[in-house]
Structure 1
Amino acid sequence: MLKKINKLNFLALYISLVNLILYHFPFYKFVCENAELSSINGIVLLSSITILLIILNALVFYIGLFILRKVGKWILVLFFFINAIALYFINTYGVIIDKTMIGNILNTNFEESSSFLSIKMVIYLVFLGILPSVLLLKTPIPEVKFKKFMVTIGLTLLFVLSLAFANSSNWLWIDKNSKTLGALVMPWSYVVNTSRFYYHKSQKNEKQIPLPASKVANQEKSIFVLVIGESARSQNFSLYGYPKNTNPLLSKIENVKSYKAESCATYTTAGVKCILEYKNTGKLFEILPNYLFKNKDIDVIWRTTNWGEPTVRIKNFQDRKALKKLVNDDSYNYDEILLKGLKEQILASKKNKILVVLHTSTSHGPTYFKKYPPKFNKFLPVCTSVELANCTQNELINAYDNTILYTDYILATLIGDLKQLPEYNSTMLFLSDHGESLGEKNLYMHGLPVSIAPKEQLDIPFIVWVSKGTDQLKNNGILSQHHVFHSVLDFLDVESPIYDQNMSIYKAKK
């Protein structure tokens, strides 16, 4: 059929129609749920948006095919494939393809991205990626004279402007919902937001901005262990009133206090940055481990099974590959590997002040059931599919709750190890980079813009243990991730011009 199209403008229009029909169901679902389509104005809005989508996409495709010819055709093929993948994630996990999500995608490693592979994704790629691409590649590109090309562009732009002004009564609604609408238009949602992501990234400092020098006030032996959780939401911790006993060990340990807290982001890169920076400036200042590593009186240890943090420039940095060398069993598959040899590493330190950062990956989906050893498979049945909507919510929550149960074990084990170092004044602080959606409002995992993100993606645990008792801790209200930086400085007795005692969770020392 496409071979019979002998005019470039008709071919571009046809491709635009295919693009609209195949990849814009979520877009129209949103419009239908948020516009008053029972009114004349609502019908005009829906009709106008449809016409604009078809005409504007056709115009861009027309220009691209005229200028780039065969290269333009291959770019459209690439669009079809990415459209198919984007549509899979939107339909399956309820994601929004905005600048934030693009940053999340670009900071995802192979291990995480491969966990999303499924039969359903393959079906999307075959029917929405490969088949339309094959049809397009077999279609010749008609020739068009430059004069006619320019006339077509001019008349199309005139029509678009006329339609836009005729629909001025709906501009306010479009402006109000522009962020979500723009995130659902294919292929421009990811094209524009990828450009925005790299533009903003280029505006940031390539090197972390140095912070003023610090000094240690005394030589009391102190250890601060900061545990950065992954996708842990506070409402599934029994310490926060959850009816299922997901914290059987922490609930029995003395000197443990849990605060209410909110994350400043819904994806790892931004969440970890908030945890490690001294305040929210929008700039990349020296992060906590790099800042303290410059102090000759402080030893800094970083262990991670995760990724996405700002560049860590310290001597004692161990990722999963390095940690694997410490074990000879299958524990390297799970986050308890972060504790292997840690006590010995602390004892080997020649400094009295020690900061340990453990960056976990325990509760990251969609394969929650793979994030903990079999013996922690307590809450049954569990979801074993990466297509989370195919599981019952009970199965999904059970699998997730088992990751929290495992987190409880890791934290309790860590506290037990710190108790075996009585010569140190010790504390452990656990908080998450962000929360997680588990099917509420048909949303899954995380990554929605903070402005529209549900509380499940923002409410995080903030759990503290102190060796000398919780009377050292303030009774704060809802904390932020930025409390961490100043709390660390306070506990390790680090004097710095940027230290803010009001942002510390510890009471002022007498």
Structure 2
Amino acid sequence: MLEKEFKLFHFGLIISVLNFLLFHFPFFGFVVNHVDVDYKSFNGILLIISLVIAMLVANFFVIYLFFYLSRRFSKVLFSLFFLINSIALYFVTTYSVIIDESMISNVFNTKYEEASSFFSIKFLVYILFLGIVPSIFIIKAKLIKPTLKRFSITSLVSLFFLIVLVFANASNWLWIDKNSKTLGGLAMPWSYSVNTSLYFIHEKQRNAKEILLPTAKITDNEKSVVVLVIGESARSENFSLYGYKKDTNPLLSKVDNLHHFKANSCATYTTAGVKCILEHTSSNELYEILPNYLYRNNVEVIWRTTNWGESPVHIKKYETRDYLRPKCEGEDCDYDGVLLSGLKEEIKASNRNKILVILHTSTSHGPTYSKKYPPRFEKFKPVCNSVDLGKCTQTELMNAYDNTIVYTDYILNSIITDLKDLKEYNSTMLFVSDHGESLGEKNLYMHGVPKSLAPKQQYEIPFIVWVSDSNKQLKPANNTILSQNNVFHSVLNFLSIDSPIYDENMNIFKK
């Protein structure tokens, strides 16, 4: 078959049909499950048939156009599309993700260590049979180029056909518009092609210039330290502090002066969630973030991280896992416990009265939950050890995730213990997660679903606060749901920092 010559028209149809059959079961599964009318009704059937034909014709038109203009370039391009399609389909079917702009952001902000945890035999099978095999056909195919007249007629007929389909579905425009983000995120290869372009355009706009905040002033000389722990993929639903039936907070539940609040994340992915925690207001602009702002205004700032995805941090003490590991001893040093190594001593060595410590953890990030904590914290068994979460039982998956929360409980309690030893300081610890996590509910896994569509498990997060001085009171919760932006203003209040952008309504502490 590879030795046979194909007319470009026939080749375009073959590639369009292959692309449709191999990569669009999730797309039409969503359509069937979410169409506002019965999909067996006339209007439902019309919508589904129209989307099928529109997808085939639109893809045919693009393939036909590209191969007419340049066969060599197009063979490379569409072979690459099939390879990326196979990878994208693996994540869509395995983790129920949608390839929108936020997911593209996750891709470009993921390091090899995290990405490698997704590799599996199933992943390789997808690449081989859905990516490499079709790509070989595309590269080897011999094509007969049509005349300009034939090309023009075919192109015009295709465009006319698409226009007719659009107007024939006038009654379904509102439904298509309502679900356009999801439909666009499941249409291959246009989901990642378009959203990658949008991602870089928006990143360039956001990073064009960091907007500096007005100068702040420290108003007293009392020694104060704030430890802000940014959690990763921790959902409040699995914290016993929030009513979870399993005892995932055996240590924190016994700590005095500990408070927990209901809270929602700004987004369901790390870069946006961390940005929101560190900014004074939710915005698409790149405002000066909390560590940069306080460092510029004479506060000692220490950033320790086993994670990534934060906005640019401009401070002296930015300490990564690789920096901390050689100075750390014990089993915890291979996990987020490394962030605590020598921390108390570093705080005591500071010559500043006001100190902010930010610990950016990675404890509950999937899919390898069972590898995120030392073996002694495997409290709940059996656990899921597969990266293909759908192959694990719900009990195994939940146990593995719950063990990460038990380890988080240990880390937070250790921080509090260290802060209690710093008796000369007024101290507080704030734990806020970047976003939540899906664990098989509604057949969704991990995170990254657009917040407008996401289940509550992906945005209901823990917001836990401990204070050293019982006289330092917190405002009553009164069923208030906090946002991640409360962090910025609460830190300013605790460190006695006066700023024109301070918002008392966003502060959780009493004056």
Aligned residue in 1 for 2:8: 8
Structure 2 distance, partners of 1:166, 1:353, is: 66
Counterpart pick for 1:280 among 282, 288, 304: 282
Structure 1 distance, partners of 2:34, 2:259, is: 43
- Report which stretch shifted further, 459-468 or 34-43: 34-43
1:415 shift after superposition: 0.4
Aligned residue in 1 for 2:26: 26
- Report which stretch shifted further, 63-72 or 356-365: 63-72
1:132 shift after superposition: 1.1
1:183 shift after superposition: 0.9
Structure 1 unaligned spans of 5+ = none
Alignment partner of 1:141: what SS?
Answer: strand
- Report which stretch shifted further, 126-135 or 144-153: 144-153
- The one-letter code matched in structure 2 to 1:27 is F
Structure 2 distance, partners of 1:379, 1:501, is: 42
Counterpart pick for 1:495 among 488, 493, 498: 498
Alignment partner of 1:460: what SS?
Answer: strand
Q: Does 1:175 align with 2:177?
A: yes
- The one-letter code matched in structure 2 to 1:29 is G
1:5 shift after superposition: 5.0
Aligned residue in 1 for 2:455: 454
Structure 1 distance, partners of 2:10, 2:314, is: 56
Structure 1 distance, partners of 2:111, 2:361, is: 15
Query: Are 2:398 and 2:439, in contact at CA under 8 Å, matched by a contact in 1?
Result: yes
- The one-letter code matched in structure 2 to 1:32 is V
Change over 3 Å in CA distance of 1:11–1:336 after alignment to 2: same
Structure 2 distance, partners of 1:281, 1:485, is: 14
Aligned residue in 2 for 1:401: 402
TM-score of the superposed pair, with normalisation by structure 2 = 0.97
Structure 2 distance, partners of 1:165, 1:251, is: 61
Counterpart pick for 1:237 among 236, 239, 246: 239
Structure 2 distance, partners of 1:472, 1:505, is: 9
1:226-259 superposed Cα distances (whole Å, 9 cap, x missing partner): 0000000001001001111100000111110001
- The one-letter code matched in structure 2 to 1:198 is F
Aligned residue in 1 for 2:95: 93
Q: Does 1:482 align with 2:485?
A: yes
Query: Are 1:256 and 1:470, in contact at CA under 8 Å, matched by a contact in 2?
Result: no
Aligned residue in 1 for 2:213: 211
1:12 shift after superposition: 0.6
Structure 2 distance, partners of 1:495, 1:124, is: 56
Query: Are 1:237 and 1:247, in contact at CA under 8 Å, matched by a contact in 2?
Result: yes
Query: Are 2:331 and 2:374, in contact at CA under 8 Å, matched by a contact in 1?
Result: no
Identity %: 60
1:406 shift after superposition: 0.3
Change over 3 Å in CA distance of 1:274–1:191 after alignment to 2: same
Structure 2 distance, partners of 1:275, 1:8, is: 53
Alignment of 1:149-228 (within 5 A): 149-228=151-230
Aligned residue in 1 for 2:415: 414
- The one-letter code matched in structure 2 to 1:220 is E
1:266 shift after superposition: 0.4
Alignment partner of 2:466: what SS?
Answer: strand
Aligned residue in 1 for 2:112: 110
Structure 1 distance, partners of 2:149, 2:239, is: 68
Query: Are 2:96 and 2:443, in contact at CA under 8 Å, matched by a contact in 1?
Result: yes
TM-score of the superposed pair, with normalisation by structure 1 = 0.98
- Report which stretch shifted further, 31-40 or 389-398: 31-40
- The one-letter code matched in structure 2 to 1:25 is F
Alignment of 1:117-132 (within 5 A): 117-132=119-134
Q: Does 1:362 align with 2:375?
A: no
Structure 2 distance, partners of 1:34, 1:18, is: 25
Structure 2 distance, partners of 1:163, 1:490, is: 59
Q: Does 1:308 align with 2:297?
A: no
Alignment partner of 1:472: what SS?
Answer: coil
1:326 shift after superposition: 1.2
Aligned residue in 2 for 1:72: 74
Aligned residue in 1 for 2:138: 136
Query: Are 2:266 and 2:282, in contact at CA under 8 Å, matched by a contact in 1?
Result: no
1:470 shift after superposition: 7.0
1:284-324 superposed Cα distances (whole Å, 9 cap, x missing partner): 1100000000112x111110000000011100110111011
Query: Are 1:5 and 1:11, in contact at CA under 8 Å, matched by a contact in 2?
Result: no
- Report which stretch shifted further, 167-176 or 264-273: 167-176
Paired residues in the alignment total 507
- The one-letter code matched in structure 2 to 1:221 is K
Change over 3 Å in CA distance of 1:213–1:423 after alignment to 2: same
1:151 shift after superposition: 2.2
Counterpart pick for 1:81 among 67, 80, 83: 83
Alignment partner of 1:226: what SS?
Answer: strand
1:147 shift after superposition: 2.8
1:367-408 superposed Cα distances (whole Å, 9 cap, x missing partner): 000000000001000000000000001100000000000000
1:330 shift after superposition: 4.3
- The one-letter code matched in structure 2 to 1:145 is T
Query: Are 1:272 and 1:433, in contact at CA under 8 Å, matched by a contact in 2?
Result: yes
1:110-145 superposed Cα distances (whole Å, 9 cap, x missing partner): 111000000110111111011111122221122222
- Report which stretch shifted further, 63-72 or 259-268: 63-72
1:181 shift after superposition: 1.0
Aligned residue in 1 for 2:508: 505
1:44 shift after superposition: 1.4
Aligned residue in 2 for 1:253: 255
1:148 shift after superposition: 2.2
Query: Are 1:435 and 1:458, in contact at CA under 8 Å, matched by a contact in 2?
Result: yes
Structure 2 unaligned spans of 5+ = none
Structure 2 distance, partners of 1:124, 1:433, is: 31
Structure 2 distance, partners of 1:207, 1:335, is: 33
1:280 shift after superposition: 1.4
- The one-letter code matched in structure 1 to 2:418 is D
Question: Which runs of at least 4 in structure 1 moved beyond 4 Å after TM superposition?
Answer: none
Query: Are 2:263 and 2:482, in contact at CA under 8 Å, matched by a contact in 1?
Result: yes
- Report which stretch shifted further, 175-184 or 268-277: 175-184
- The one-letter code matched in structure 1 to 2:21 is I
